[in-house]
Amino acid sequence: MYYQVNDVKLFVRQDGERNPAIIFLHFWGGSSRTWEPVTHLLKADYHCIRIDLRGWGASDKPQTGYDISSMAEDVLLLIQELQLDNYILAGHSMGGKIAQAIAAQKPEALKKLILVAPSPAVPTLLPDEMVKGMLQAYTSIDNIQFTIDHVFEAPDLSPDLRRVVVEDMQQHNTASLTAWPGKAMNEDVSAGLSGIKIPTLVIAGGNDKVDPPARLAEDVVARIANARMVVIPGAGHLSMLQAPEKVAALIKEFVREV
């Protein structure tokens, strides 16, 4: 279903009806489908909401609005539209940075925060050659396959899941493709992070080279008062696709904690 927020139509998938609602935000190159293996295991217990962020999936792909603040505003306006008064944010990678920016604003209805291989709220500064590599990562099927196997460390994806990821990585325009490595990744949205008081779970992949556990411990967990981290051994950057049962079990346990 589509919802008009800001200047874009966002495509949103909803499953389940039980509170709390869990809002799932995807990575740079993903879509709402990225989270489907996990929400399939959670929808009987929770209201699972998966968003195609602007520029990706079936959502509109404007030429502007790919800074973290604008994408966070998209999500907050969608929450208003859906009239949610009890929700949890679950963000992966780029979606994790957006989720941190939202949590730093301390919305009253946000009860918990789940960050899966999140990009830290502080800047990720990379050498020019690595940025150039990122800009080429989704420009051909061969580059996409290489990225999945050797950057995201996810060679174990099933053929069906690999097909979904390959398709999603092609669903962009030039602006959404270049904005993350060109700008948003380098933004500092850490103001207010130390004031987050809600329980926060960080899920890391033991083999993740993009956002490795050591960096997450230093730049995410240490900056949020009530955060703790769990590492999934053997998983790379796409743990919700590589180990959905484990991710779903960790989320379910965390949500149920008083």
Write the CATH number for 100.
Answer: 3.40.50.1820
Count of structural domains, the chain: 1
Percentage of the chain with pLDDT > 90?
A: 95
Q: What global pTM score does this model have?
A: 0.97
Please give the C-alpha separations between residue 175 and each of 20, 56, 60, 98, in angstroms, as whole numbers.
34, 11, 12, 18
Handedness of CA 161, 164, 167, 168 (dihedral sign): negative
Whether residue 206 is predicted with pLDDT greater than 90 in this model: the reply is yes
Q: What is the dihedral of CA 237, 233, 114, 19, to 10 degrees?
A: 110
pLDDT tens-digit series, residues 37-83: 999 999 999 999 999 999 999 999 999 999 999 999 999 999 999 99
pLDDT at 176 exceeding the cut of 90: yes
How would you class 147 by CB atoms within 10 Å of its CB: exposed for 0-12, middle for 13-18, buried for 19 or more?
buried
CB 6 within 8 A of CB 77: yes
pLDDT at 244: 98
Tell me the residue range of the domain where 69 lies. Answer: 2-256
